[in-house]
Structures are given as C-alpha cells and as structure tokens.
Amino acid sequence: MLRTDRIVGGLAILVAVFFIWRTTLIEIPFISDPLGPKTFPVIICVVLALAGLGIMLKPDAEPHWPKASGFIEVGIGIVVFIAYAELLPVLGFIIATCIAGGILAWRLGAPPVQAAIAGIGIALGIYAVFHLALGLTLAVGPLGF
Amino acid sequence: MEALSSLGDGFIVALSVQNLLLAAIGCLLGTIIGALPGLGPSNGVAILIPLAFSLGLGATPALILLTSVYYGAMYGGRISSILLNIPGDEPAMMTCLDGYPMARAGRAGEALAISGIASFVGAFFATWGLVFLAPQLVDVALLFGPAEYFALFALAFATIGGVAASNQMKSLLATGFGLLIAMVGVDQQTGVTRFSFNNVHFYDGIDFLVVIVGLFALSEVFIFLEHRSGGGMDTHSVPLGRTTVTKKDLVDTTPAMARSTVVGFIAGVLPGAGASLGSFLAYTLEKKVSDKNKTFGKGDPRGVAAPEAGNNAAAGGALVPMLALGVPGSGTTAVLLSLLLALNITPGPLLFQQNPDVVWGLIAALFIANIMLLALNLPLIKLFVKVLQVPTRYLMPAVAMISFVGVYGISGSTFDLLVMIAFGVIGWLFRKLDIPLVPIILGVLLGKLMEANLRRELTISDGDWWALIDSPLAIGIWLFAVAGFVAPIVLGRFFRVKEKQPFDGETLDTD
C-alpha cells in the first residue's frame, strides 16, 4: 500500500542525492581548510537520506488531507500572497493591502461588504501604527502611500 | 554575590522610560497573542522580530520588548483554556483539564486569578533561577572548545527531536532540511558559493527571519484558510464570577505552585523540552502527590495552579541555555535566538563578558515584565476576554499583512516576500505531514555555527576526526545527545503530551 509517508521519505532521499551531486560541483579554491566546504553538506545530506529511509520503512498513519475545497482555499491564498508581493512596490502599501486583506477576510468567511471594510481597516490600521507612529518605511505607490 | 550586583546594574538599564514602555507594550501584546487560539508565543514573537529589527531598536530594548511578549504569551494562553476549553497555545493545554471544569462550575474568575498568581510565582522564581544558574553554566561553557560546541549543537538537535516530535525520523528530516538551508550562500571560510543555483539573491544565503516568519506565521494563516474557519470565540456563555482568590485556595495551592515551579524550571533548562513538557510534568506530578480525593480533572484549583506555574517556570528556565550557551531549549527561545543573531550579538558565554548590559538588562526587564503582567492580568481580564471574541476572519488577514510588512521592512525586497510565501506553504505541508518545524528553525540558525566549529576542530587536529571525542566533556555531551534522542523511543509514549487544539493533528509543536 502506498502511503503518503513513503512518498515523503522517497522525496527526502531524492533531495539528498540531488544536493550531494550539487556538492560535488562546488569548486574547491586553492587554499582551503582540511575539511573544506563540501564535507558538512554531504554529512547533512546523508542524515537527510537516512531520515527519509526511516520514514519510508516506518510510515505514520495517513495525514488528514483537506477536501478539494480546502486545497482550493489554500491555492487562492497562495495566489493572493504572490500577487500581493509582486504588486506591493507597484501599487503602494495601502492600495495593495486593502485588496489583499479584503480578499483574505472574504475567503475566511466575511460577507463581501464587511470584507472590503476589513481590508481598508487593516491597511489604514497598519499604516497608522507602523508608519505614522513608529516610522517604519512601507512600500510607496504612485499616489505617495 | 557577583550575580546580584550585575543584576543591580541591569535594573539601571531596564528602568529607563523607553524600556519600561516597551515592556508594558510587550506584556499587553503578549497576553493577547497568547490568549488567541492560533497565535502562540513562537509565531507571535516571529511576527514581531522583523518589525523590531526594521524599527532599528537597539539590542537591549528589542530583547526587552520580545521577551515581554514571550512571558506575556505564557500568561495569556490560560485564558481561553479556562473559558473555552481550547488552549490559547500549546503549553496551556494542561490548564484546560481543571480550568474548564472550574469555569463550568461558575468559578471562571477564580480560576483565572489563581492561574495568574501561579504564573507569576512560576515565572518569578524561574527568573531567580536564571540569575544564579546562567553564570554557573557560563563558567562551564568557557571551557568549551570547538569539539564541545559541535557536540552541544548535536545535543540540541537530538533532544528537540527526541522529546518534541512524535516521530523521531521526521524530526531528523526537519533538522537536515534546516541545516541544508543554512548552507546556501557564500561559504565564510573559503568564499565559494554553495547551492546558489546562480541566483544572485541566494549569494547572501536565505535570511533566517524570512524563514521563521514564513514557517510560523504564514503557515498558520494557511491552516485557517484551509478550514475556512473565520468565527470568533463565544465567551458569553461563561460567566466570569468574581476574579479574586480566597485565602483558603491560596494556602491550598501554595505547595502545588512550589513543586511545579521546580519541576517546570528543570524541564525548561533541559534542551528541547520547553514549556509544554514543563506544564505536563508539573500537572502529572501534582496529581500523583495531592489527588487524594479524586478531585483533579473536576475543577481542583491545584490542577490549575500546577500547570501554569510549571509552564511559566519552564519559560524562564528555557532562557538559561539560550543565553549561557547560545543553544535554545525550545521553539520560542529559538526564535528569540534569531533576534540576537539578527542584531549581530552572539549568545553564549562571551555574551555575559562582552555585553553584560544586554544580559542583565534583559533579566531585570523580565522581573519588571513579570510584575507588570500580574498587575495587568487581574484587572484587565475582562479586556482580554473581549479580545477573544474578535473573529479570526479579520484577525488572520491582519496577521498575514503584518508579517509582510515586517519582512518587507528588513530588505524592501519582493524576492524575500516570495521566499517567505514558499516557506509558508512548506510549513503548512509539513504540519499536515506531522513534521515538526522547530528543528528546521534550529538548523537554519545553528547550521553555519555548527559547521564552523567542526571545521575549526578539524583544522586544529589536522583532519583527525577522533579529535571530536577527545575530551571527557565532549564525550559526556555526546552521550547525553544519544540518550536524548534514543530514550523517548525506548520509553515509548510516556513523555508525549496529548494534544487538544482547534484543529486536530496539525498543531505547531512549539512553545
């Protein structure tokens, strides 16, 4: 029977092998200490591979995966966050945060109007506390905030 | 007493207006963070560290702010345990057992008052323990060479993995993953870049603050999104009753507090154990010692006092190895360690010699914070109960946005934000898979130091690996490390704290 943990263990071994290969590509400079920059990463990879092997051999019970809707919600969250990170320097802090905060509140179950108000409230609240009161630099947009 | 005069100097540092203000803000924020289910000491402190850093606070003020949050969260966790039977954070789990029955019996206010006093007693005496034990440990640590330090890091990983995780192999995987992240970037000794994949952003390595905020704060937001759980807590159904303690209860619970403080402090000092284990052991012991009439679990005040004294004492105890050795004993102290490293302060024995003002100012601030917390907690309890009613659909977006603000404030780099999101997703996945996150943080923080010590030792010994176990001290530490990793496997599930959290099976294993 294929269990999630067997895949996890297998992936850990693959990652370990991949990084051991990457380690062999490191060029050792002319002057180096006896151990050099390669040994410790290799030790780590061996530990990682052993852990992966252990997990493959003795997998835990299946995790509680969410239903499809749960994955979709997380997916929406990831998209919102990435868009927020990319648009922050373009739109400026307040506009970007109003939008992102509002969408998140909406996805967590707030009705659309309340969610929009929450987004604006969060943006203005953080702006007031962290920028106006504490002087932290926030991303500046075309409108100057 | 040298420690006492140093402490006196510390009070001079801590008693400035700015520091007192920071301690007060930290206590208030911490209690709120601790009270809210979903936000605990480790993610609360994680969100605030980048902010403290980008605000340009000095080392001492920043530490005072964040350790006040840390102590405050330990106080706050009990509030929702008692009122709602949902622990506000993991260490407050045991407080549910007798706290909630007390609340059901109409004695919620009393339970909050008793646990507040127990928290104070635990934290107060643990801070005294810190004052006297830390300098002793520093004296020992000054004898440490690179081999001993290497062994010490191994000990930290082994015990955190052994005690904190339900599956040792998964904690080993997390450790390897964290250490590997630490390897990214320019090697300090030879100047070659490792694992940068020709991406300029990786030349400096991956900023541990970005990793921490992603793993601890954003992953929490993902968990809430997944469940679409945006409701608030219904605290109306529980009447508070009077919020004072009767003299009889105080007399009855005093021995419980005393025993639990000792147990909790020891649990805290041991690497890897932390506050959850402290409260668990304190409650278990107290039940063994005083449960003569089978009242535990039905609303016995001693069952509230014991775990609270225990977890607050452990919180103080966990600071001992963090400050004296530079090796954190729990998730939250690991996060605090990242603050020190971000401020370019290397914790460990030299910290006591080179920056005594930082150490002793911090310890003095802990005393002050503790008194503030006691003063805040009893009169302001109604306010904290109100905070619990804030629905998470408004709270969690704010948490996410503040995380972004903090990380953006460090570097102003979109790339860092993307790395943070990636670690948020990884954190969410790992929590689903029951892979602990604390070893990752520890690996990221300690990886470079661990490697540096290994290479230094082998440079001294000219490549002879036996030099690593050349001294009795090093051998002793290695033996402890092996025992710490193996013992929990052998002893089975004895140590495991059964968890009860809003979402089953995906708790953040930290305190």
What whole-number distance in Å separates Cα of residue B346 and Cα of residue B343?
9
Interchain proximity A64–B432, CB inside 8 Å: yes
- Alpha-helical (H) ranges within B142-273 are 146-164, 168-183, 208-212, 219-227, 247-269
Least confident of A64-73, A134-143, B484-493: B484-493
By CB atoms closer than 10 A (0-12, 13-18, 19+), residue B11 is middle
Residues 118-137 of A with CB under 8 A from B: 118-119, 121-123, 125-126, 130, 134-137
Q: Which chain A residues have a beta carbon less than 8 Å from that of B176? A: 12, 16, 44-45, 47-48, 51
Cβ neighbors of A51 (< 8 A, separation 6 or more) are A9, A12, B169, B170, B172, B173, B175, B176
Count of residues in chain A? 145
- Of residues B360, B102, B393, B405, the one with CA closest to residue B233: B393
CA dihedral B191, B192, B197, B200 (to 10 degrees): 30
Compare all CA atoms of chain A with the CA of B223 and give the residue at the minimum distance.
A74
Query: Is B229's Cβ below 8 Å from some Cβ in A?
Result: yes
Interchain proximity A74–B51, CB inside 8 Å: no
Which amino acid is it at B31? T
> How many CB atoms are closer than 10 A to CB B227?
16
Query: Is B464's Cβ below 8 Å from some Cβ in A?
Result: no
Q: End-to-end alpha-carbon separation of chain A, Å?
A: 56
Domain locations along chain A: 4-57, 68-133
pLDDT value, residue B305: 93
CA A123 to chain centre: 22
Token reading at B448:
């470079």
Interchain proximity A32–B190, CB inside 8 Å: yes
Q: Which residue has the tokens 């209690």?
A: B31
pLDDT value, residue B247: 85
Does A73 have pLDDT greater than 60? yes
A36, A44, A64 ranked by CB distance to B180: nearest = A44
Where is B194: in which H helix or E strand?
A: strand B193-194
Q: How far is CA B340 from CA B14, B328, B369, B511, in A?
A: 17, 12, 19, 18
pLDDT value, residue B120: 94
pLDDT value, residue B504: 41
Question: Which residues constitute the domain of residue B299?
Answer: 2-495
Helix, strand, coil tally for chain A in percent (to 5):
70, 0, 30
Task: Give which of A13, A74, A134, A145 to mutate to test B binding, by max B Cβ within 10 Å.
Answer: A74
What whole-number distance in Å separates Cα of residue B263 and Cα of residue B251?
20
**B465 is a domain residue:** yes
What whole-number distance in Å separates Cα of residue B37 and Cα of residue B81?
9
Where is B301: in which H helix or E strand?
A: helix B301-325
pLDDT value, residue B273: 65
**B504 is a domain residue:** no
Compare all CA atoms of chain B with the CA of A47 and give the residue at the minimum distance.
B176
What whole-number distance in Å separates Cα of residue A100 and Cα of residue A116?
10
- Of residues B196, B455, B192, B184, the one with CA closest to residue A29: B192
Task: Give which of B29, B47, B188, B194 to mutate to test A binding, by max A Cβ within 10 Å.
Answer: B194
User: Strand locations in A93-145, DSSP E?
Assistant: none
- Of residues B444, B402, B405, the one with CA closest to residue B423: B444
- Which three-class secondary structure state does DSSP give residue B185? strand
Residues 162-181 of B with CB under 8 A from A: 166-170, 172-173, 175-177, 179-180
Query: Is A82's Cβ below 8 Å from some Cβ in B?
Result: yes
Task: Give B73-106 pLDDT, tens digit per residue.
Answer: 888 888 888 888 888 777 888 999 999 999 888 8
Does A134 have pLDDT greater than 90? no
Q: Closest approach of chain A CAs to the CA of B306, in angstroms?
A: 33
Token reading at B133:
């034990």
Query: Is B454's Cβ below 8 Å from some Cβ in A?
Result: yes
What whole-number distance in Å separates Cα of residue A49 and Cα of residue B176?
9
Query: Is B398's Cβ below 8 Å from some Cβ in A?
Result: yes
Which amino acid is it at B435? I
Q: Closest approach of chain A CAs to the CA of B411, in angstroms?
A: 10
Interchain proximity B172–A29, CB inside 8 Å: no
- Of residues B129, B123, B76, B130, the one with CA closest to residue B313: B123
- The DSSP symbol for B186 reads E
Compare all CA atoms of chain A with the CA of B48 and give the residue at the minimum distance.
A130
Q: How many distinct structural domains can be found in chain B?
A: 1
What whole-number distance in Å separates Cα of residue B284 and Cα of residue B264?
11
Compare all CA atoms of chain B with the CA of A37 and give the residue at the minimum distance.
B187
**B500 is a domain residue:** no
Interchain proximity B170–A55, CB inside 8 Å: yes
Q: How many CB pairs under 8 A join A and B?
A: 213
Asked if residue B89 lies in contact with residue B40, where contact means CB atoms within 8 angstroms, the answer is: yes
**Complete DSSP assignment for B357-421:** HHHHHHHHHHHHHHHHHHHHHTTTHHHHHHHTTS-HHHHHHHHHHHHHHHHHHHH--HHHHHHHH
pLDDT value, residue A78: 97
Q: How far is CA B89 from CA A12, A102, A128, B405, in A?
A: 30, 27, 29, 24
Interchain proximity B176–A70, CB inside 8 Å: no
Query: Is B308's Cβ below 8 Å from some Cβ in A?
Result: no
Task: Give B25-48 pLDDT, tens digit per residue.
Answer: 999 999 988 888 778 888 888 888
Using 70 as the pLDDT threshold, list the residues of chain B that sit under it: 1, 163-165, 230-237, 272-273, 490-511
Compare all CA atoms of chain A with the CA of B150 and give the residue at the minimum distance.
A40
- What does the pLDDT average to over A136-140? 84
Percent of chain A surpassing pLDDT 70? 99
Asked if residue B184 lies in contact with residue B448, where contact means CB atoms within 8 angstroms, the answer is: no
Cβ neighbors of A111 (< 8 A, separation 6 or more) are none
Least confident of A84-93, A107-116, B110-119, B164-173: B164-173
What whole-number distance in Å separates Cα of residue A85 and Cα of residue B147?
43
Interchain proximity A119–B229, CB inside 8 Å: no
What whole-number distance in Å separates Cα of residue B139 and Cα of residue B324?
9
R_g of chain A computed on alpha carbons:
24
Q: Which chain A residues have a beta carbon less than 8 Å from that of B180? A: 15, 19, 41, 44-45, 48
- Of residues A78, A45, A59, A19, the one with CA closest to residue B166: A59
Does A132 have pLDDT greater than 70? yes
